[in-house]
């Protein structure tokens, strides 16, 4: 199980405790960066990634929800953020340039598909991607309605990868919790972004929350969490 906790939803009062614990249990951290324009909210920043880096050496994956990805991509390159995921809706005309810029810096390039955006939108450059993130909620706020039909994109992306030998990993982001574990797991994403409803709000400490998340996953899917 490749779990990528969404740090936007963590309890900042327990920042050090939560990051230290998760560092031993996850492969990556998911950092939402919002500019208040692409989505009507403000969230984390490259500075936050730098602070988190003091407590962990795990992969950082930045999810850009911004109107000007070029501005943010260079900042994330400067701090060596390992994975930079850009909104498909904002890279038309500059996608190849930005992907090359990220790869030339020795980092990984990803694309995020919002619910209304089809996989066909990214076909011109899909072979260059290291990750494709499928949003299963409307972006910008935690706790949005789960859009189950978006899981079909995961199936489509997996079929394209198998047919053409693409190397991208498939990530799903949105409402990963007890209510949806079964359908999400059946869709077979490579990476599960998990936030408030599926992890951080399950108990008053990260140790108990993690144990509850594992229990819920195993009860709902009938599979061992491994």
Structure confidence at residue 143 (pLDDT): 62
- Residue 105 marked in a binding site: no
Structure confidence at residue 174 (pLDDT): 87
Q: What is the pLDDT of residues 61-89, one digit of tens each?
A: 999 989 899 999 999 999 999 999 999 99
Q: What is the pLDDT of residues 8-51, one digit of tens each?
A: 888 888 999 999 999 999 999 999 998 765 665 667 788 899 99
- Residue 142 marked in a binding site: yes
Structure confidence at residue 113 (pLDDT): 98
Structure confidence at residue 100 (pLDDT): 98
- Please, which pLDDT band fits residue 114 given cuts at 50, 70 and 90? very high
Q: What is the mean pLDDT of residues 215-223?
A: 96
CA 166/CA 223 separation, integer angstroms: 28
One CATH from 3.20.20.70, 3.30.70.100, 2.120.10.10, 3.40.50.300 for 3-221: 3.20.20.70
Domain ranges for the chain, please list them: 3-221
Structure confidence at residue 54 (pLDDT): 93
Separation in Å, CA 72 to CA 100, 101, 188, 221: 15, 12, 30, 38
CA 194 from chain center: how many Å?
8
Q: What is the mean pLDDT of residues 122-146?
A: 89
Helix (H) or strand (E) holding 157: helix 151-164
Contact by Cβ (8 Å): 109, 98: yes
- Residue 109 marked in a binding site: no
CA atoms within 13 A of residue 76's CA, in its CB half-sphere: 33
Residues with a known catalytic role: 32, 173
Q: Exposed, middle or buried, 94 (CB in 10 Å: 0-12/13-18/19+)?
A: middle
- Residue 103 marked in a binding site: no
- Residue 140 marked in a binding site: yes
Going by C-alpha positions, the residue among 213, 151, 144 that lies closest to residue 188 is 151
Q: What is the mean pLDDT of residues 156-171?
A: 98
- Residue 226 marked in a binding site: no
Structure confidence at residue 45 (pLDDT): 84
Going by C-alpha positions, the residue among 141, 131, 99, 133 that lies closest to residue 117 is 133
Structure confidence at residue 175 (pLDDT): 86
**Mean per-residue pLDDT over the chain, rounded:** 93
CA 181/CA 99 separation, integer angstroms: 32
- Residue 32 marked in a binding site: yes
CA 191/CA 37 separation, integer angstroms: 27
CA 170/CA 155 separation, integer angstroms: 10
């Amino acid at each position: 199980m490749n779990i990528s906790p969404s740090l936007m939803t963590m309890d900042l009062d327990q920042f050090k405790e939560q990051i230290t614990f998760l560092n031993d249990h996850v492969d990556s951290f998911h950092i939402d960066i919002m500019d208040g324009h692409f989505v009507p909210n403000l969230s984390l920043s490259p500075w936050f990634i730098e602070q988190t880096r003091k407590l962990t050496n795990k992969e950082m994956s930045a999810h850009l929800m911004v109107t000007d990805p070029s501005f943010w991509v260079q900042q994330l390159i400067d701090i060596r953020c390992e994975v930079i995921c850009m909104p498909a809706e904002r890279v038309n005309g500059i996608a190849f340039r930005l992907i090359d810029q990220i790869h030339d810096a020795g980092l990984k390039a990803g694309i995020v598909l919002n619910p209304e955006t089809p996989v066909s939108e990214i076909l011109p450059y899909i072979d260059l991607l290291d990750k494709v993130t499928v949003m299963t909620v409307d972006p910008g706020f935690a706790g949005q309605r789960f859009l189950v039909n978006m899981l079909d994109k995961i199936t489509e992306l997996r079929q394209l990868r198998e047919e053409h030998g693409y190397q991208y990993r498939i990530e799903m982001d949105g409402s990963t919790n007890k209510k949806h574990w079964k359908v999400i797991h059946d869709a077979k994403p490579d990476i599960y972004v998990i936030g408030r409803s599926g992890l951080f709000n399950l108990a008053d400490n990260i140790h108990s929350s993690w144990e509850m998340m594992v229990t819920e996953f195993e009860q709902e899917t009938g599979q061992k969490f491994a």
